Chain A
């Protein structure tokens, strides 16, 4: 977490986390810029300011509140430390996993910001795009794109025969004329040294 401030959507409002490693001025500047660029996106919801491990003087807190009031129509501004952390884990970007229990056929497309687990095949002409990992209990024959958000994600399948396999910004195709077969051969694709690698998947 490099940025001085970060936002997460929690069950009952927005959580603004202040990075304990950033200086107070950095935090305040970042907040100021964000308030200026934000529209009325936060209207009607509560704003939780998570000071996490920061220790602020009372004047500093006042300054933060004054800047945060710039968000249009925020209902309440609430200070918190770790109270909301548990709630945000479930809706956080990386923790979310979608389970799909069917075969994806040609023309069908699934796009999720988290991980995707599929019980079934991905047929040629189908597309699966995930922010995180893609795990398929079946055959991959269509196009898969894992780690869209740039993370180092991997693709795991019982049979890896994709039309095209993308991880982050790397694209790989299976070798031309590769023998097609139905035998189950679990494989994992991931990025190593800037290249997509495929290896036998051992449990």
Chain B
């Protein structure tokens, strides 16, 4: 059975690609799918840190490509879910250490074993990006409600289409509930109107994400935070389930009081 390879990319850096990969991957694993995460950001690896698996790395993606080890040897099994594994990037090399054709072979091999292969793309549009998308069947673009991030996302969609990855979908990350309440934020309709692609999910900004990244525990592992729920919903949509988008507007002091007195 061949799985599906999905690349998570953005163009702009710092919009939350790695966090998205860690959370969607973990959420899919929690739903009992066999999942492998690939960190394609060679030279600037992060996914292992966010997953809390840094200290288990022996071999990495470059070792596999250069035949220093077998693919199975480089895969790190997640400490919480045994059906989740990570192929880490090399930290001491750079993007030229892997070629797109090698990447494609690698992803195809993993697809035979897995239900989902999630590829974490580096920022930018150079070789690292080309490597990351080489083996992918679908693309998810992460953006934030900022003009610069949306502009880069648009550029990436154009490049993906030129590479034959049609119909990419977009995740809008880090939506600030307070700013949405005030009407200060670039709103979701504006973004979708410009990008003209399907919306895959919206994720509210939450300081707990930083905490969980630092601890190496993806936020989907926790029950409460809205951001975790948002990532779980995206994972469900990836498996084909229909899920409504979460409500971003936060209860303000007044709406809370109204609720208490049953005015709303």
- Report the stretch among A58-66, A76-84, A103-111 that lies at the interface: A103-111
Check: A41 CB closer than 8 A to any chain B CB: no
Nearest CB to that of A125 among chain B residues? B151
- Chain A residues with CB under 8 Å of B157's CB are 105
Nearest CB to that of A107 among chain B residues? B155
Q: How many residues of A contact B (CB 8 A)?
A: 13
Check: A154 CB closer than 8 A to any chain B CB: no
Check: B260 CB closer than 8 A to any chain A CB: no
Query: Which one, A107, A123, A124, A125, contacts B159 given CB within 8 A?
Result: A107
Are A124 and B196 also in contact (CB < 8 A) when A105-B158, A107-B158, A107-B159 are? no
Nearest CB to that of B158 among chain A residues? A105
Assess whether A106 is in contact with B196, with CB atoms less than 8 Å apart. no
Binding site secondary structure of chain B: helix
Assess whether A182 is in contact with B193, with CB atoms less than 8 Å apart. yes
Shortest Cβ distance from residue A136 to the other chain B in the assembled complex, whole angstroms:
15
- Chain A residues with CB under 8 Å of B152's CB are 106
Assess whether A125 is in contact with B196, with CB atoms less than 8 Å apart. no
- Chain A residues with CB under 8 Å of B196's CB are 103, 121
CA distance A107 to B157 in the complex (A): 10
CA distance A89 to B161 in the complex (A): 35
Check: A141 CB closer than 8 A to any chain B CB: yes
Are A141 and B194 also in contact (CB < 8 A) when A106-B158, A108-B158 are? yes
- Chain B residues with CB under 8 Å of A103's CB are 196
Assess whether B193 is in contact with A124, with CB atoms less than 8 Å apart. no
Assess whether A123 is in contact with B194, with CB atoms less than 8 Å apart. yes
Shortest Cβ distance from residue B236 to the other chain A in the assembled complex, whole angstroms:
29
CA distance A106 to B158 in the complex (A): 7
Assess whether A124 is in contact with B155, with CB atoms less than 8 Å apart. no
- Chain B residues with CB under 8 Å of A107's CB are 155, 158-159
Among A106, A107, A182, max chain B CB count under 10 A is at A106
- Chain B residues with CB under 8 Å of A108's CB are 158
Check: B154 CB closer than 8 A to any chain A CB: yes
Shortest Cβ distance from residue B144 to the other chain A in the assembled complex, whole angstroms:
16
Would you give 25 A-B contacts (Cβ < 8 Å), ordered by A? A104-B158, A105-B154, A105-B157, A105-B158, A105-B161, A106-B151, A106-B152, A106-B154, A106-B155, A106-B158, A107-B155, A107-B158, A107-B159, A108-B158, A121-B196, A123-B154, A123-B194, A124-B151, A124-B154, A124-B194, A125-B151, A125-B154, A125-B155, A141-B194, A180-B190
- Residue numbers of B with Cβ under 8 A of A are 151-152, 154-155, 157-159, 161, 190, 193-194, 196
Q: Which 3 A-B pairs have the closest CB atoms?
A: A105-B158, A106-B155, A106-B154
